[in-house]
Structure 1
Amino acid sequence: MDHAEVLLIGGRAGVGKTTVGWEVSARLRAVRVAHAVIDGDFMGAVHPAPDGDAHRAGITERNLAAVWGNYAELGYRRLVYVNTVSVLDEATPMFRRAMGDGIRLVRVLLTATDETAELRLTGRELGSELEQEVRSSARKARLLDERAPADVLRVMTDGRSVIDIASEVVAATGWAAADAASGPVPATN
C-alpha cells in the first residue's frame, strides 16, 4: 500500500469517540493490522492558539503533519484519527496537505442523544466546565447532523457496547479483511 488511509472518527462531546478509537485500535491489533492512533484534540492543545482561539487549524495541521511524518517514515500507512469535526468536508484539505493527496478517507460520525451525551459528560467532567461542555456538545451535534456529508457513516452509540460499536467502525474500513501484514508491526517488549 503506497498511499495512506485514515479512519476519521467524529462526533459530539460525550459520544465516545476516544473510547471507540482505542477499541478500534485494540481490534486492529488483535488481527495484526499495522496502524497509528492520534487524538486530534491534542494536536491543537495550546493556549492561546497561535492562529486565534476560534480556529486552531494552523497548529493542528502542523502537528498532524509532523506526527504523521514520523509514523510514515517508519512505514505506517493507516491512521485512526479521533476529533469532533474531522468528518466534515472542510477538514479534508488539512489531511491531504498533512498526509498527501492520495489518501483514502473513511469517515464515521458517532451519534448519541442529548440525554446519553449529558450522562456521559457528567461522569467524565469533574471540573468547572461541565455546563459549558453540555451546551457545546448539543451545538456540535446539530452542526454535525446538518453538515456531515452523505457518505459519512453514522453510527448510533446509545445503549450499545463499545465492542459492538468498534466492530461496526472497523468493518467500515475494510482493514481487517485486507492484507494485515502490510506495513510494520512493531515488536513488543
Structure 2
Amino acid sequence: MDQAEVLLIAGRAGVGKTTVGWEVSARLRAAMVAHCVIEGDFMGLAHPAPAGDPRRTKIAERNLTALWSNYAELGYRRLIYTHTVSVLAENEGMFQRALGANVKIIRVVLTASDATARERLTGRERGSELEQELESSARKARILDEQTPPEALRVVTDGRSVLDIAREVVGATGWLPSTSG
C-alpha cells in the first residue's frame, strides 16, 4: 500500500477521542496492522499562540508534516489522528500537504450529550480551566454539528463502552483483515 490513509477522530472535549483512539490502536495492534497514532491537541501547543491564532495552525501543520515524514520513511501508511475539529473540510488541506495529495481521509465524529461531556470533564479537569473547557466543549459541539462533512461517521458515546465504540470506529476504516470466509 503506497497511499497514506488517516483516520480522523474528532469530537467535543470530554467525548473520549484520545481513549477511543488508543483502543482503536490496541485493536489494530492485536491484528498486527501497522499504523501510528498522533494526538493532534499536542501538535500546536505553544505560548503565546491562543486558539484560532494562525501561528498555532501553522506550527501544528509543520509538526504533523515532520512526524508523518518520519513515520512514512519507516514504511507506515496508516495514521490515527485525534483532534477536536480535525474532520472539518477546512482542515483537509493540512492533511493533504502533510501526508500527500492523494491521502485517503476517514472522518469519524464522536458525540456526547452536554451532561455526559460535563461529567467526563469534571472527572478529568483538576485545575482552574474546567469552566472554560466546558464552554469550549459546547461551542465545538455546535461547530461540529453545523460543519462536519456529510460523509463523516457520527458515533454516539453516551452510555457505551470504549470497546464497543472502538469496534464501530475501526470498522469504518476497513483496516482489519476480513474474518469472513
TM-score normalized by the length of structure 1: 0.91
> Counterpart in 2 of 1:69?
69
Match of 1:43 in 2: 43
Question: C-alpha deviations, 1:26-73, integer Å up to 9, x for none?
Answer: 000000000000000000011113xx6423110000000000000000
Percent of residue pairs bearing the same amino acid type? 69
Q: Distance in 1 between matches of 2:19 and 2:143?
A: 22
For residues 108 and 9 of structure 1, what CA distance do their matches in structure 2 show? 5
Root mean square deviation, CA, Å? 0.9
Q: Deviation at 1:165?
A: 0.2
Q: Tell me the SS of whatever aligns to 1:9.
A: strand
Instruction: Report the counterpart of residue 163 of structure 2 in structure 1.
Output: 163
- Cα distance in 2 for residues equivalent to 1:54 and 1:65: 20
1:11-160 maps to which residues of 2 (within 5 A)?
11-49=11-49, 53-55=51-53, 56-160=56-160
Which amino acid in 1 is paired with 2:125? Answer: E
Q: For 2:127, what is the secondary structure of its paired residue?
A: coil
**Secondary structure, counterpart of 1:44 in structure 2:** coil
* 1:142 counterpart letter in structure 2: R
What is the rounded CA distance, in whole Å, between the counterparts of 1:2 and 1:10 in structure 2? Answer: 25
Aligned pair 1:3/2:3, yes or no? yes
SS at the partner of 1:173? coil
Render the CA deviation track for 1:131-154: whole Å, top value 9, x for unaligned.
000011001001100100110000
For the residues of structure 2 that align with 1:124 and 1:150, how far apart are their CA atoms?
31
Structure-2 change in CA distance of 1:170 and 1:53 (3 Å):
closer
Distance 1:95 1:62 in 2: 11
3-state secondary structure, aligned to 1:154: strand
User: What SS class does the counterpart of residue 75 from structure 2 fall into?
Assistant: coil
Count of matched residue pairs: 176
2:15 is aligned with what amino acid? V
Go from structure 1 to structure 2 and tell me whether the alpha carbon gap of 1:53 and 1:169 turns closer, same or farther (over 3 Å shift): closer
Compute the displacement of 1:102 (Å). Answer: 1.0
Gaps of 5+ in 1: 179-189
1:177 Cα deviation (Å)? 2.5
Give, as a single letter, the amino acid of the residue that structure 2 aligns with 1:160. Answer: R
- Taking the aligned partners of 1:53 and 1:38, their CA distance within structure 2 comes to 19
Amino acid at match of 1:95: F
Q: Which runs of 5+ in 2 are unaligned?
A: none
